[in-house]
């Protein structure tokens, strides 16, 4: 199986991809917002998608979108052909499209909306965290994309504050902080200080015992001193 960044060579699969996205949403009764052939074709031809194939057959797909002038990136439309499900393909595609997002937009926050537990698990492994909807892009065009979702009325009733989808967010700054912590050299400071402290204590105790011994008089010495 090959998992590649999309190119015009993959346009031959766009009709199958679109149909499976729609059929999957219908079967589950929850949303994958429907996208037009033209929209998906543009994503594929511009290299803003990942396509998995095997022996010339379409296996899986996912694409990226940018919002709020590139401040947010979404990995959207993750779909795997029914024939190839339950084999870890979705995880591999997600990892590939996530890396594509990070390479193209390294400073952007990466987010997703999903009703699938499997996708939530994949996102969590990649560093996403569950957030409230207000943490996501407020770009009107993004939310307009939910109009084709079967749950759009619920979203509007909730004033876009929540819906059946779980919002998840990856923040680059958090990842950088984690890298800094993980890449720090082993901290010997406390260990050295502990050794110095123990040495100082031992030295002080030794000096204390030595002084005590010097100041301690034998009975003969005390008597001699008293007789003078």
Beta pairing class for 109-114 and 49-54: unpaired
Residues 6+ apart with CB under 8 A from 30: 115, 150, 151, 164, 165
Residues 6+ apart with CB under 8 A from 112: 74, 75, 76, 119, 123, 128, 167, 168
- Mind listing the pLDDT tens digit for each residue in 179-220? 544 566 555 545 445 555 455 545 555 554 444 444 544 444
The CA distance from 20 to 77, in Å, is 10
The CA distance from 100 to 61, in Å, is 13
DSSP at 186: P
Q: Which regions of 48-114 does DSSP assign to beta strands (E)?
A: 49-54, 57-67, 72-80, 109-114
- Mind listing the pLDDT tens digit for each residue in 73-96? 999 889 999 999 999 999 999 999
Q: Is 125:94 a contact under the CB 8 Å cutoff?
A: no
pLDDT tens, residue order, the chain (228 aa):
999 999 999 999 999 999 998 888 777 766 566 789 999 999 999 999 999 999 999 999 999 999 999 999 999 889 999 999 999 999 999 999 999 999 999 999 999 998 889 899 999 999 999 999 999 999 999 998 888 788 899 999 999 999 999 999 999 986 655 554 456 655 554 544 555 545 554 555 555 444 444 454 444 443 333 232
| Every domain of the chain and the residues it spans | 2-174
Q: Is 72:108 a contact under the CB 8 Å cutoff?
A: yes
DSSP at 88: S
| CATH 3.40.50.620 is right for the domain spanning 2-174 | no
Kindly state the percentage of the chain with pLDDT values over 90. 61
Nearest alpha carbon to residue 35 among 51, 20, 46: 20
Residue 65: other Cβ atoms inside 10 A? 19
DSSP at 179: H
- Phi, psi dihedrals of residue 169, rounded to the nearest 5°: -140, 135
């Amino acid at each position: 199986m090959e998992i590649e960044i999309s190119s015009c060579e993959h346009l031959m699969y766009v009709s199958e991809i679109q149909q499976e996205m729609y059929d999957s949403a219908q079967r589950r009764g929850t949303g994958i917002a429907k996208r037009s052939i033209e929209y998906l074709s543009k994503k594929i031809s511009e290299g803003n998608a990942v396509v998995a194939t095997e022996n010339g057959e379409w296996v899986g797909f996912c694409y990226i979108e940018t919002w709020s002038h590139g401040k947010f990136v979404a990995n959207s439309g993750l779909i795997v052909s029914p024939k190839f499900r339950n084999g870890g393909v979705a995880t591999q595609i997600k990892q590939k499209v996530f890396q594509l997002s990070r390479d193209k937009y390294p400073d952007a926050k990466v987010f997703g909306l999903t009703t699938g537990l499997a996708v939530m698990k994949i996102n969590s492994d990649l560093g996403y965290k569950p957030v409230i909807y207000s943490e996501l892009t407020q770009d009107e065009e993004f939310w307009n994309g939910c109009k084709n979702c079967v749950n759009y009325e619920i979203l509007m009733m909730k004033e876009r504050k929540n819906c059946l989808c779980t919002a998840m967010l990856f923040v680059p700054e958090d990842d950088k902080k984690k890298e800094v912590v993980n890449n720090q050299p082993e901290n010997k400071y406390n260990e050295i200080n502990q050794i110095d402290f123990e040495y100082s204590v031992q030295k002080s105790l030794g000096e204390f015992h030595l002084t005590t011994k010097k100041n301690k008089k034998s009975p003969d010495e005390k008597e001699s001193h008293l007789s003078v």
